[in-house]
Amino acid sequence: MEIRDLLTEVGRLKGEIDALRPIDPAQERRVMQRFRLDWTYHSNAIEGNTLTYGETKAFLLHGVTAQGKPFRDYLEVKGHHEAINYLLDFVRQQQLLTEAAVRELHKMILVEPYKVDAVTGDGRPTKRRVIPGQYKTAPNHVLTSTGEMHYYATPEETPAKMGNLIAWYRRETDKAELHPLILAATFHYQFVAIHPFDDGNGRMARLLMNLIFLQYGYPPVIIPTDKKGEYLLALETADAENNLDPFVIHICESLLHSLDLFLRGARGERIDELDDLDKKLAILQKKLEVNDKARPEKTAQSLLEFNDKFLEPFLSQLFSQLAKFDQFFARTFFRVTLYKENIPKNTYYHHSPVIYGIANSIREGEKPKQIEIICEWSDFMADELFHLLFTLDIYLQRYSHKIIGFAHNYQNEYSKVAYYNEDNDGELNQNLASLQAGKGKTLLKGRYDAFYSKDEIDGLILKITNELYKRLEQKTDE
C-alpha cells in the first residue's frame, strides 16, 4: 500500500477517535495502561531485556519480581515506565522538545552508570562506561546484517547534529506542514543516524517518536518484538537506498494498529488481541525448545549423577538432622514413597537407609517421577496433644527437579495425618493433601547437571530445620 493510502486510513481512524471525545476517563485509563505496558515491554525486549511480558506486567502493576532475572532488567523497566510518565506530563504542559529534555529522558531510562561491551578502533574487544544523560565520548559504529560497518556521527559531531535535529523539529512544528507521521518517523530515523548516546539509542528513538505522536493527539506506536527484524531491516534499507519510504510505511502500519486499538478502547470494547494467546504460546514454545536443547533430559544416567552429587549427601544430612527431633516426642512416623510412571512403589525406611533404596531403584532401571518423604512426630513431651509434621516432595521432571517442603503443627488427641493411618494409604494421602494444599514452599529447583556446594546444601537443610525448631519453640514458650 502506498504512503498516501496509508495516511488516508490514518486520517479516517483518527477522525473516528476525535468524534468520540471527550472519552470516558475510565476507558481512556484502561487503554493507556495497555499501551504503557506494551510499550515498555516491547521496547526493552527489542534491546535484549530478558523479562517476559507477564513478568513486566507483574512488576509494573504489583511490584512482583521473578527469581533469577538480572537486577539491571528491572531497572530498565522501571526507568522506561517513569520516562513514559515524563513524556505524558511533557505533553500535558504543551512543552517543546529541547536537548536538555532529551538528556533528562536518557537519565531516566538508564537509571545509573554501567559498563557495556565495545570494540576499539583496531577491532579489539573492550568495555565502555555508559553515563546516563551524557552524549557519547567514543565512536559507537556497528556491523549491519550484511557484515558491513555502519558509521554513526562521531563524538565530536554529535552536539552540533543534535542541535540541528532539535532545531529542525521545532521549525517543522511551527510550520505545521508535515504530517505528524512523517515528522515522527523522520525524527526517529535522524536520531538513530546520529546515535548520540553510548547506549539506549533505540529506546530513546522510540520514546521521542512517540512524544511527537502524543503531541499531535495520536496514540503511541508499539514496535512488537516479533516485528523486530522488519523494523531493523526498514532502517537499514533507508540507509542503503537513501529512501525513507520503507521505514515510514513500517511506522505507519504500526500506527494504524495503535489507532485501531485506541478506538476499540474508547468505545468500551475488548482491547486484548484475539491472537495474543497464540503469540504468547508460540514464544513460550520457542523458549522451551531452546531450554530443552541446552539441558540434560531425565535418564538413568542423569538421575544417578544427580543422586550421587546432590540427593544422597542432601538426604543423608537431612535425615540425620530430623532424627534429632525424635527425643522430644513419644512416637515418630517416617515414610518414603517412590512413584514411577502411574504405579506407586511404597518403600518404608527409617532415616539414612532410604538413600540406598532410592539409588538401588534407579540402578534397577526405574526412573521415579516423585520421591515423597513424610516425617511426623506425635505426643510432644510438654503436651501430648501437640503434633509436628514435615513433608518433602522431590519432583523429578523431564528436564529439571523441584523440591517442595511443607511444615505443619496441630493440636489433636489423635494424629490425623500419618501415625494412626499407617495401614490406610488412601486416607493418609487424602488428609495430607488437604493440609498441604497451597501451603508448600519451593525450596529448590534446577537442572539435573546443576552443581550444589556444601554451603548450599547446608543452607537448604538449615532452612528446613529452623522452620521445625521455630514451631517447637513457640509451643514450648506457651
- Catalytic hit among 42, 80, 81, 195: 195
Radius of gyration for the chain, computed over Cα atoms and rounded to the nearest angstrom:
30
**What is the C-alpha separation between 239 and 247, in angstroms, rounded?**
10
Write the CA distances from 340 to 46, 83, 306, 315, 433, integer angstroms: 43, 53, 17, 19, 19
Total Cβ atoms within 10 A of residue 105: 25
Which triple of cell numbers denotes residue 118?
Answer: 565495545
**What is the C-alpha separation between 51 and 80, in angstroms, rounded?**
13
CB 43 within 8 A of CB 203: yes
CB 215 within 8 A of CB 207: no
Q: Is 81 a catalytic residue?
A: no
CB-neighbour burial class of residue 79 (10 A; exposed 0-12, middle 13-18, buried 19+): buried
CB 150 within 8 A of CB 141: yes
**What is the C-alpha separation between 389 and 369, in angstroms, rounded?**
23
**DSSP string for residues in 374-430:** EEEEEEETTBTTEEEEEEEEEEE-SSEEEEEEEEEEEE-SS-TTTGGGTT-HHHHHH
First CA to last CA distance, the chain: 79
**What is the C-alpha separation between 350 and 338, in angstroms, rounded?**
14
CB 376 within 8 A of CB 418: yes
Active site amino acids: 195
